[in-house]
Amino acid sequence: MQCRINEAVVHFDQHGSGVPVIALHGVDVDHREIEVALEAIVPSAGYRRIYRDLPGMGHSTADGLNCNDDVVMLLATTARYYGLDKRLQTTSGRSRPC
């Protein structure tokens, strides 16, 4: 699935219903990396699992994003797009120095 938020296209897959879990993948991969990992451990009943591509990765674009603050705002706006005000969020990957 895709949605457009301002200039950016955000790609995501979702499964199930219930408590929302937004999963963010690491660097140099797309949503499929964390989707495979979490689907193996998160119970399918009772959780709405949302796997999104970060800006510029997978099928998401980074159009209109100029700095990290823009990315954070996009993530927050995307959560509101999903209709979420309370959510669990998880990430994978490693940090890299700038």
45 CB-contact burial (10 Å; exposed 0-12 / middle 13-18 / buried 19+)? exposed
pLDDT average, residue stretch 23-46? 90
Domain ranges for the chain: 2-91
Q: Does 97 score more than 70 pLDDT?
A: no
**Mean pLDDT taken over the chain:** 84
Separation of alpha carbons 79 and 57, rounded Å: 18
Provide the 3-class DSSP secondary structure of residue 71. helix
Please tell me the CATH code under which domain 2-91 is placed.
3.40.50.12270
The pTM assigned to this predicted structure is 0.77
**Model pLDDT for residues 83-95, shown as the tens digit of each residue:** 776 555 555 555 4
Give the type of residue at 91. T
pLDDT value of position 85: 62
Q: Across the strands, what pairs with 3?
A: 10
Q: What is the pLDDT of residue 44?
A: 85
pLDDT-derived band at 60, boundaries 50, 70, 90? very high
CA atoms of 65 and 89, how far apart (whole Å) = 22
